Structure 1
C-alpha cells in the first residue's frame, strides 16, 4: 500500500463528515495560519536566509503577502460562500424557476510548493484551498531544507492532521503522493515537472492548477521613460537572484535607445547592489551549486556588458547583462531563472511583436512605453498569463488580479476571489416551482412543441 494512503484516507473521511463546509471551520483554519505566520515570523525569516541568503525585504514579503490574503478571505468569505443567483430565460423564470450557483469544496487538495518562495508559494494556495473548504496536504520544496524542516515542525502545532498535514522529502515522496487520487492538485514549479504532475493527475482525472514559468518578454520602446524602466527591470530581474517565475526573462529594446538603456541599466544595478554584489546584503544566492553552474553556462563572455563573475562555492552569479543577444544564444533557449539578462535590439516594432507572439506563452510580460498604439498592439497580440505596463512583477502582489499562466507557462488562476473560485467546484442549479406545470414530455402529438421549448430561449 502507498505509505501516504492513510493520510489521504484520514483527510477524506474528515471531509466527508462535512465540518469543512462551514464558515466557522474555514475562518478557524485561516486564524491558525495567521498565528503560525505571526508567531514564528523571525524563525521563518531566519530559515529563508539560511537556505539561500534571502534579504530582509524578500523574507518579509513571504510573510506579509499570505497575511494579506488571509485578511481578504476573512473579510469576504461569507459573501464568497453564499449561493449566487443567476439570470435564466424569462420564460422559465415566469413559470417559477430560478437559477443559482453554489460553490462547493473539491475535497483533499495536494499543494506542491517551489523553492524560490518556499513559504509564500506553498501557503498562498493552501490558504485559498482552506477558504474554499478543502483539506490540504502540503509538500514543501526539499531544496530549501531549513524552511521545509521548520514548516514540518510548525504545521502539526497549529493544525489538526485531518485538516492540514505536511509531507517532506524529495522526488520519491512526490512520486508516491502523485500516485494517489487527490481531489485537486496545485503545483508551482518548472514546466518539465508540471508535465509529470499533469500526467499523474490524468490517471485519476484530478483537476489541477499548474503555476509554471518560461522566458518572460520585456519591451522597451523609444518613447519609454528609461530611468523608470531600468530601475524596475533591474529589480524585477534580480530579486531572489533572478529565481522568480515572473522575472523579466529578456529585454527587447529599440535600437535607437539601446546604448542609453544599457548605460542606465548598469548604473541602476550598481546603485542597487554596489560594485561587488557578492557583498551586498540585498542580493540572494542561487539555490544550489548545480544551478549556479547552469546559469553560468549561459554567460557568453563576448556579450557581457555588465557583471559576469561567478563563485560556484558561494552559489553566486553576479547580476549580468548580455548585449547584443540573439535568439541563438544559450540564455534565450529556456527560462534563465538566474541573474543573467539578455538584451536584444529591435528596429521594427511590428516584426518584434510577431517574433514574441510565436514563442511559447509566458507566465508574465512587460512593456515600457508612452505609445498607446504600441501598448495595445503588444497586449492584443502576445498571449501571457499576466503582467504590467510601465512596471514589472508587482501584479503578483494584488489579490484582485487573478494570477496564473497560459499554455506552456501553466493553467488556472488564483489569488483572492479567483483563488476561491478555482479551488471550488461551481455547482449550477435550476430550482423549479414544485406546483407549476411545464409540459415538455412525450407523447408530443398534438402539442405545440415550439411554444413549450420557447421558455428556454426567451
Structure 2
C-alpha cells in the first residue's frame, strides 16, 4: 500500500463529510494559520536564516505576505463563497430562468513548495486552498531542512490531520505522493520538475497549477530614470541571492545610456551590499554547494564589470554584473537563479523585442521607460506571466493582481480572488422555471423550432 494512503484517505473521508464547505470551517482554518505564523514568527525566521542565511527583511517578508493573504480572505470570504447570478439570454430570463455560478472546493489538495521562499510559497497556495474549502497535504522543500522540520512540528499543533498534514522528504517521497488520486495539485519549482508533476497528474486527470520560472527580461530604454532603474534592478536581481523566480534575469539597455547605466548599477549594488558582500548581513547564500558551483560557472571573467568572486564551500557567489553580454554566453543559456546579471546593449527596441518574444515565455518581465509608446509596444508584443513598469518584483506582493506564468513559466494564476477561483471548481447552473414550457423535442414535424430556440439568442 502507498505509504501516504492513510493520511490521504483521512482527508478524503473528511472532505466527503461536507464540513469543509462551511464558512465557519474555512474561517477556523484561516485563524489557525494566522495564529501559527504570529506565535512562531521568531523561530520561523531563525529557520530561514539557518537554511541559507536569509536576511531579516527577507525573513519577515515570508511571514507578512501570507498574513496579508489571510487578511484578504477573512475580509472577503463570504462574498467569494456567495453564488453569483450572471446574465443569460433575455428570452430565457424573461421566462423565469436564471444563470448562477457556484464555486465548490475540489477536495484533497497537494501543495509542493520550493526552497527559495519555503514559507511564503508553501503557505500562500495552502491558504487559498483552505479558503476555497479544500483539505491540504503540504510537501515542504527538502533543501531547507530547518524550515521543513519546523512545519512538521507546528502543523499538528495548530491543525487537525484531516484538514492539514505535512510530508517531508525528497524525490522518492514526492514520487509516491503523486501516485495518489489528488483532487488538485499545486507545484512551485523548476520547469523540469513541473513536467514530471504534470505527467503524474495526467494519470488521474488531476487539475494543477504550475508556478515555474525562466529568464525574465528587463529593458531600460533611453528615456528611463537611470537611478531608479539601477536601484530597483539591483535589488530585484540580488534579493535571496538571485534565487527568486521573478528576478530580472537579464537586462537590455539602450546603447546611448549603457555606460552611465552600468556605472549606476555597480554603485547601486555596492550601496546595498558593500564592497565585500560576503560580509553583508543583507545578502543571502545559495541553497547548496551544487547551485553555487552552477552559478559560478556562468561567470565569464573578461566580461565581469563588478563582482565575480565566489566560494563554493561557503555557498557564496558575489553579486556579479557581466557586460557586454551576448546570447552565446553561458549565463543566457538557461534561468540563472543566482546573483549573476548579464547586461546587453541595444539600438532598436523592435529588434530586441523580436528576439525576446521568440524565447520561452517568462514568469515576469520589466521595462523602465517614460515613453508610453515603447511601454505599450512591449506589453502588447511580449507574452509573460506578469511584471512591472518602472518597478521590479513588487507585483507579486499585491493580492488583487493574479500571479502566475504562461507556457514554460507555468500555468494557472493565484493570489486573492484569483487564488480562490483557481482552487475552486466553477459550477455553472441554469436555474429553470419549473412551469415554463419549451418544446424542442422530437417529433419535430410541424413544430416552429426556430421560434422556440429564439429564447437562446
Q: Distance in 1 between matches of 2:382 and 2:405?
A: 13
Show the counterpart of 2:225. 225
Q: Distance in 2 between matches of 1:181 and 1:361?
A: 30
Partner of 1:115: 115
| Matches of 1:398 and 1:96, distance apart in 2 | 41
Q: Secondary structure at the match of 2:313?
A: helix
Tell me how far apart the structure 1 counterparts of residues 342 and 109 of structure 2 sit (CA, whole Å). Answer: 38
Deviation at 1:93, TM superposition (A): 0.8
Instruction: Using structure 1 for the length normalisation, give the TM-score.
Output: 0.99
Question: Map of 1:277-296 to 2, 5 A cutoff?
Answer: 277-296=277-296
Contiguous gaps of at least 5 residues in structure 2: none
For residue 38 of structure 2, what is the aligned residue in structure 1? 38
1:204 equivalent in structure 2: 204
Task: Return structure 1 stretches of 4+ with deviation > 6 angstroms.
Answer: none
Deviations 1:323-348 (A, max 9, x none): 00000100000000000000011111
What are the superposed Cα offsets for residues 341-388 of structure 1, whole Å, 9 maximum, x if unpaired? Answer: 000111111101110011000000000000111000000000000000
Give the aligned partner of residue 329 of structure 1: 329
Q: How many angstroms apart in 1 are the aligned matches of 2:268 and 2:125? A: 34
Aligned to 2:167: 167
Q: Is residue 383 of structure 2 the alignment partner of residue 388 of structure 1?
A: no
- For the residues of structure 1 that align with 2:101 and 2:194, how far apart are their CA atoms? 31
Partner SS for 2:305 = strand
SS of equivalent residue, structure 2 residue 162: coil
Distance 2:289 2:103 in 1: 46
C-alpha distance after superposition, 1:270-307 (max 9, x if no partner): 00000000000000000000000000000000100000
Residue segments in structure 1 that go unaligned for 5+ positions in a row: none
RMSD of equivalent CA atoms: 0.4
Which residue does the alignment assign to 2:244? 244
Deviations 1:398-434 (Å, cap 9, x if unpaired)? Answer: 0000000000000000000000000000000000111
Number of matched residues?
Answer: 457
Match of 2:360 in 1: 360
Superimposed CA distance per residue, residues 433-458 of structure 1 (whole angstroms, 9 cap, x where no aligned partner): 1111111111111111100111111x
Q: Which residue of 1 aligns with 2:398?
A: 398
Query: What secondary structure, in the 3-state scheme, does the structure 1 residue paired with 2:428 have?
Result: strand
Per-residue deviation, 1:313: 1.1
**Mapping for residues 74-223 of structure 1, pairs under 5 Å:** 74-223=74-223
Mapped partners of 1:177, 1:455: distance in 2: 49
Tell me the residue number matched to 1:450.
450
**Residue 413 of structure 1 aligns to a residue in which SS?**
coil
Shift of 1:92: 0.7
Matching residue of 1:29:
29
The offset of 1:242, in angstroms, is 0.2
1:46 offset after TM fit, Å? Answer: 0.3
1-structure distance, mates of 2:350, 2:143: 42
Give me the whole-angstrom Cα distance separating, in 1, the residues matched to 2:434 and 2:267: 74
CA distance in 2, matches of 1:119, 1:73: 18
Q: CA deviation at 1:256?
A: 1.0
TM-score where L is the length of structure 2: 1.00
Separation in 2, partners of 1:320, 1:39 = 38
Structure 2 equivalent of residue 59 of structure 1: 59
CA distance in 2, matches of 1:185, 1:204: 11
SS in 2 for 1:308: coil
CA distance in 1, matches of 2:398, 2:371: 25
